Copies of this chain bind each other. A is one copy, B any other.
Amino acid sequence: MTDLYVDPSAQDRLASLVDEAFDLGVVARELGGRDLASLTDTVSPQGVVAVCRRVDVGLDEVVRPGARLLVCCVQVRDPGNAGTVVRCADAFGADGVVLSTGSVELTNPKTVRASVGSLFHLPLTVGADLAAVVAAAHAAGLQVLAADGSGDVELSELSRTGGLVAPTLWLFGNEAWGMPPEDRALADRVVRVPLYGAAESLNLATAAAVCLYTTATAQHDG
């Protein structure tokens, strides 16, 4: 964080945040409601705007030996989905997140908000070529699993048979068209979340949540 602007009418509510920023060397500045609102794109801004440096790092800082759980969004375009995947990755203890070329910007305001702070909790890299990501994961000793409804193994079966205990990079595809065959072919396995009802698919972020929860649980309990 480099700057912090606070609406005077929200200062009491945000006192502890302002104190924390001060301890980090950032002095909060007052900015009136309308001026502050001009810096955000929400209908009901929360009375505070922070200016932060970009958080993305190089691919080699994310996909590295020792990582146990990594996530790659492959051409994910919906900003809310991307942010929610980052939040889930953080929640389930992932060591980093990759956004491949063609994915939404990490700095999209909806992505930032949907991540609910998780953007700052784990290393992220953007604009990565998928083949390079997979090669780096293999070199770092991770298996590569693609989540796709076309998968030949069910997530629950893979979990039961110990297939999720190894260090793993998960690939999640686009919300509308999934993952093209040439991208799926880069993975060691294509895994499908079992569906028991009439729905044909899951929302991308919920599918990612299920895969990451199952893997994290297998790795922690295994």
Contact = CB atoms under 8 A, between A and B. Distances in A.
A213 B199 contact: no
A26 to B, nearest CB: 20
B198 A90 contact: yes
A8 interface: no
Contacts of A121: 197-199
Given A156-B217, A160-B221, A217-B156, A93 B206 contact: no
Contacts of A80: 80
Nearest to A205: B206
Interface residues of A, number: 40
Interface in A136-156: 156
A155 to B, nearest CB: 8
A87 B84 CA distance: 17
Interface of A: 80, 84, 87-94, 114, 116-118, 121-122, 156, 160, 193-199, 201-203, 205-210, 213-214, 216-217, 220-221
